[in-house]
Chain A
Amino acid sequence: DIQMTQSPSSLSASIGDTVTMTCRASQAIGSYVNWYQQKPGKAPRFLIYATFNLQSGVPSRFSGSGSGTDFTLTISSLQPEDFATYYCQQSYNTPVTFGGGTKVEIK
């Protein structure tokens, strides 16, 4: 199975900051990475597919990049509604696997 390792596990930031989190795959997975946002007690929300493509309705302050084994999610100009946990997921092969999450907290 492909392991997905996210870092950091948590970070503190202020409104208006730019934050970047990373996701590393245990083997090369091309561009087959997706990102999700989850708030406490809620279902995950689909943000980005195939590394950098924004899902409809997702604000343009979210962006994704990377290829091979290393991927990043960047949030520019952090907004109050962005404080949440973010998960990466590989869709290169089965079983689908998720990273452990990065929690974005208010500084």
Chain B
Amino acid sequence: EMQLVESGGDLVQPGGSLRLSCAASGFTFSNYWMHWVRQAPGKGLVWVSHINSDGATTNYPDYVKGRFTISRDNAKNTLYLQMNSLRAEDTAVYYCAREPGGSDALDIWGQGTMVTVSS
């Protein structure tokens, strides 16, 4: 079964840091681009970042650029999101998702991990 499992979500103070992980199984992780998408409580889906299959290319929207870093370890079948300088507005469930074939469509999603930024 193809699966993504996120971990690392927690309660963190404003200005703090957190690293999320996404463990992949059931498919050849190194063949796929991967994404992070977040969803604030009661709100819609918002794209956070993507990374290409070998980790050489990454992209971010302006609202996380310079604060968040996406990376991957293909030997460990794991995707990461390093989040620094966290703000209250970063509070959300963070999902990792797989992109098939350079399409920017997201066909497999993890169950999500909750990040709460609050003092």
B111 to chain A, nearest CB (A): 6
Interface residues on chain A, number (Cβ under 8 Å):
24
Are A89 and B105 also in contact (CB < 8 A) when A44-B45, A100-B44 are? yes
Q: Which residue, of B35, B45, B108, has the highest number of chain A Cβ atoms within 10 A?
A: B45
B95 adjacent to A97 (CB under 8 Å): no
* Proximity string of chain B (79-118) to chain A, C-beta cutoff 8 Å, 1 when within and 0 when not: 0000000000000000100000001111111111000000
* Across-interface contacts of A87 in B (CB, < 8 A): 44-45
Q: Is the interface of A mostly helix, strand, loop or mixed?
A: loop
A80 within 8 A of B: no
Cβ-defined partner of A44 (8 Å) among B46, B50, B95, B103 = B95
Cβ-defined partner of A43 (8 Å) among B44, B104, B112 = B112
* Across-interface contacts of B50 in A (CB, < 8 A): 94, 96
16 A-B pairs (CB sep. < 8 Å): A36-B45, A36-B106, A43-B112, A44-B95, A44-B109, A46-B106, A46-B108, A49-B103, A50-B103, A89-B105, A96-B35, A96-B47, A96-B50, A96-B104, A98-B45, A99-B44
B interface residues (Cβ-Cβ under 8 A, vs A):
35, 44-47, 50, 59, 61, 95, 103-112
